[in-house]
Structure 1
């Protein structure tokens, strides 16, 4: 398998996950973006998504 293709696939997955985070929780996204942590969110998205969603709901109430 071509290493460049694998790297591009990982970058694409990170970018798509980052865009989902931006839509789901803009405040969390903006906190992570300055250090490019939004681009590694995809590694734990499956586990963090319920918490990020809950955080966004609480933030909307306040």
Structure 2
């Protein structure tokens, strides 16, 4: 049995940060795996695209506070 790894389609570009102190970043990654059995039909298995979301908040900002 042998395995052939092929890259999934290019991931989408990261979303631009929003306005204000909240930003959103989306990272998309994927991997396609084809498993070949000698003498048999290829058994294609695909690991679907995984979406990870990471949120962070910038430090609080106050205007005019001293």
TM range (shorter): under 0.3
Structure label with greater radius of gyration? 2
- Which structure features the higher share of helix residues? 1
- Which structure features the higher share of strand residues? 2
